[in-house]
Structure 1
Amino acid sequence: MPLHVGKGRTESRAISDIIDYVANPQKTDNGRLIAGFACDSRTVDAEFLLAKRQYIVATGRVRGADDVIAYHVRQSFRPGEITPEEANRLGVEFAKRFTKGNHAFVVCTHIDKSHIHNHIIWSSVSLEYDRKFRNFWGSTKAVRRLSDTICIENRLSIVENPKLHGKSYNKWLGDQAKPSHRELLRVM
């Protein structure tokens, strides 16, 4: 969910990379399925960076390389159950409710796959530049719960028994590795 700078990237490159992907005209019907709140969807990356600079000026708080620039959530719908326009509207509703209308955001609805899905990105900095969004323990469950609530309110299906966890990257990597000589000797 949080978008960090990452290794070898500037803040500007990190935010523009994700915005370029989610706002891809081939996936969003030439940009028709992009909606912004308190920002222009064409300049959202620059606006998020400006908000961060204004936050630093207003508060004097400077974070290191681990600072969060924005947050990214994906919201998917069952194939054939919703129109792209309705999905975009529900994405905007989700973002307004989740951020309580205190953060600028962009909702990009992708229609390039069999299922329609939204990419929702909101600024880590509040609209007043005095606070940052606090990613809280259990926020993933809160995202799912709110998305499910909005879907139920609009008579759409939800995933009844979601798979709790996939493998962590380290577990997956360990499963891919060949056994060490020591492990092979242990088996013998």
Structure 2
Amino acid sequence: MAILEFINGANKTYSGMNKAISYILQHAKTKPHLTGGKDCSPKTAFNEFVITKQNFRKEKGRQFVHFTQSFSPEDKTTPEIINEAGKKLLEHEIFKNFQVVHATHIDRKHLHNHFIINTVSQVNGKKWQLSAKELEMLKQYSDEICKEFNLIIVDGEKGNYKKRGEYRAGSKGQSWKYELFLAVRECKWSSRSKEEFIDNMERLGYKVDWTEERKYITFTTPEGKKCRNRKLYPPEQFTKEALIEAFEINSQAADEKELKNRMDLILTMIQMLSGEDKNHKQGKYPLSMLEGQARKERAIEEAKGRGLDWSRGSGNEM
């Protein structure tokens, strides 16, 4: 089934919003007939988003939400069908009364749709929010669309169907592989190049063997355990191609200083956890600890009826 991934970039400024919209509409990545807008025009989406915010006097906070719907390179389909699948996704109730600009990218081995959502409704001025329950509903709806269009996603080259629950079950406990997954995910969206990604991984204590001669990337954990990128789930989000695309998005749509501050903050929090965990009972997996704390905070927010704030990151890729 298609993989939905929410991108945690610089989404609190008009500049970041303009860059994100410009990125997904690039002629080098898509074609005019593969772009579109829900309640807006792709060519004027940025201005329309701004006008909506100004009309309701809601120009602060998160300006937009950027997410992708990715399909397997094994799918024997066309960009036009993938584009239709993206349009179908926007018919879900979650997007009602919200402007969305979208585009199907064809510059990679796997076809994928990009979506930029205006966080302010053009009808009533409400802010866009998504609870964990609504996210699951959206994923299920996306899966139904894939079935309708005969689209699938398989686990790597083995041809086995991969269930999200299989990987998510591992996230409930602490494991070196899940800790690696979190590290790669954080560095993926905090880096603007392959070199910067490797440097950020090294700052977290990981070694990265990424060469042109080898198809897969090999990560070595601080404890010396090795793992290839195809073993991380969902594998489509951690291929060389997917990582390079993320770097391009960060380079064009994110602020360099903000990305650096994000990594510095992560390292500071890890150091604080290590200092507090004198017995080293949990400090072995600091990112897993931070992830667990974030889940608790989101659960509290949902209980208050506030939904999830995607700009805070974590837990939104599966």
Contact 2:21/2:101 (<8 A) preserved: no
Corresponding pairs, count: 168
* 1:5-54 Cα distance to aligned partner (Å, 9 max, x none): 45xxxx2211111111111111112x221011111101111111111111
The question of whether the paired residues in 2 share the 8 Å contact of 1:39 and 1:47 is answered with: yes
Tell me the secondary structure at the aligned position of residue 125 of structure 1: coil
Segments of 5+ residues of structure 2 without an aligned counterpart are: 1-5, 155-161, 169-177, 188-199, 208-221, 223-318
Distance in 2 separating the partners of 1:62 and 1:113? 35
- 1:84 maps onto 2:79 in alignment: yes
Quick one: which amino acid aligns to residue 27 of structure 1? K
Moved more, 113-122 or 47-56: 47-56
Q: Quick check: which one's helix share is greater? A: 2
Partners of 1:129 and 1:52 lie apart in 2 by 11
Aligned mates of 1:53, 1:75 — CA distance in 2: 30
**1-structure distance, mates of 2:134, 2:205:** 29
Moved more, 70-79 or 141-150: 141-150
Q: Which runs of 5+ in 1 are unaligned?
A: 179-188
Separation in structure 2 between the aligned mates of residue 25 and residue 49 of structure 1, nearest angstrom: 23
Amino acid at match of 1:17: K
Question: Using the alignment, how far apart are the partners of 1:96 and 1:3 within structure 2?
Answer: 25
- 8 A contact 1:3–1:70 mirrored in 2: no
RMSD: 2.9
Task: Looking at secondary structure, tell me which structure has more strand per residue.
Answer: 1
Distance between the aligned counterparts of 1:143 and 1:174, measured in 2? Answer: 33
* Length-normalised TM-score, structure 1: 0.75
For 2:63, the equivalent position in structure 1 comes to 69
Q: Report the 3-state secondary structure (helix = DSSP H, G, I; strand = E; otherwise coil) of the residue aligned with 1:32.
A: helix
CA-to-aligned-CA distance 1:60-90 (integer Å, 9 cap, x gap): x664xxx111111111112242211111111
Q: Percent identity?
A: 26
Q: Which residue number in structure 1 is paired with residue 182 of structure 2?
A: 167
Q: Distance in 2 between matches of 1:99 and 1:35?
A: 18
Q: CA deviation at 1:155?
A: 2.2
Distance in 2 (CA, whole Å) between partners of 1:111 and 1:14 is 23
Q: Distance in 2 between matches of 1:121 and 1:154?
A: 23
Return the match for 1:123 from 104, 111, 118: 118
1:43 partner letter: T
